[in-house]
Amino acid sequence: MLRFTRANWYRFGSAKRPFTRFYATEPEKNERLANLGSTIQVLQDNIPLLLTKNLPYEIIHPDICFCLFPETHGIQAAGFKTYNTMVKLLQLATRSLLLPNRSQLMILAMYMNKDDKDPQLQVNWRSISPDRATPQPIDPFSNPLSIFQPGQIIKSLGMMPDEYPIIAGSFEFRFDRDCDKIVYHCIRDVEYLHRPSAEPVITN
């Protein structure tokens, strides 16, 4: 399990101004960095269960904005209660219509932007069958592949599963001023992957 220490966070900054040095000059900025690390750790622990369990309310801002499929539908909702309701509806629809009931999400990669004042986190993921053994833990920040589509990420990591169907996509999270609550959650780049059909046999 990845734990957020000063050594971990050093990697996310530039060579001239590491990410940690921005927060090392003032106590308030150090506190924001600590809060951000804790919040992301909570996300990393809870995203695998997001098909059956909502994120902890402690890290959700009362006025959170929820964005769904901005590329095609651009559905948006605001407020904690509306957010929780929409997530529960998505969970129910996914388990009832698309995936086995006890499916979970596997984190493929996490990417943190370098904007010190407005940090954003992107999480690339795919579903995993309940019948499959627990996957080996990975360092999600070791594969910052946010520039690819989720299906390409799966193939590039050599993780195309034997089980079908699966869902792959990405989450985008933005945080409040103190970096301890999520103010924006977006679900995007979602792909529904079916089992490949057998090649037709051509006879002369």
Q: Please state, as a whole number, how many other Cβ atoms lie within 10 Å of the Cβ of residue 176.
A: 16
201 domain residue, yes or no: no
Domain hosting 12: range is: 6-130+138-193
- pLDDT for residue 28: 81
Task: Read off the CATH number of the domain in which 118 is found.
Answer: 3.10.450.50
199 domain residue, yes or no: no
Selection from 35, 51, 44 nearest residue 128 by Cα? 51
Partner residues linked to 182 by β-bridges: 60, 175
- pLDDT for residue 150: 52
126 domain residue, yes or no: yes
- pLDDT for residue 166: 86
Q: In order along the chain (204 residues), what is the average pLDDT of each group of 10 residues?
A: 41 39 64 92 95 95 92 83 94 90 91 78 90 55 49 51 78 94 94 66 53
Q: Give me the number of domains the chain comprises.
A: 1
- pLDDT for residue 11: 37
- pLDDT for residue 4: 44
32 domain residue, yes or no: yes
Place of tokens 């699966």: 166
Output phi, psi for 142, to 5 deg.
-80, -10
Alpha carbons 160 and 153: distance in angstroms, whole number: 9
* CB of 55 closer than 8 Å to CB of 182: yes
150 domain residue, yes or no: yes
What is this structure's pTM?
A: 0.72
DSSP state of 56: P
- pLDDT for residue 203: 55
1 domain residue, yes or no: no
97 domain residue, yes or no: yes
> Angle 51-57-61 (CA atoms, 0-180°, nearest 5)?
110
81 domain residue, yes or no: yes
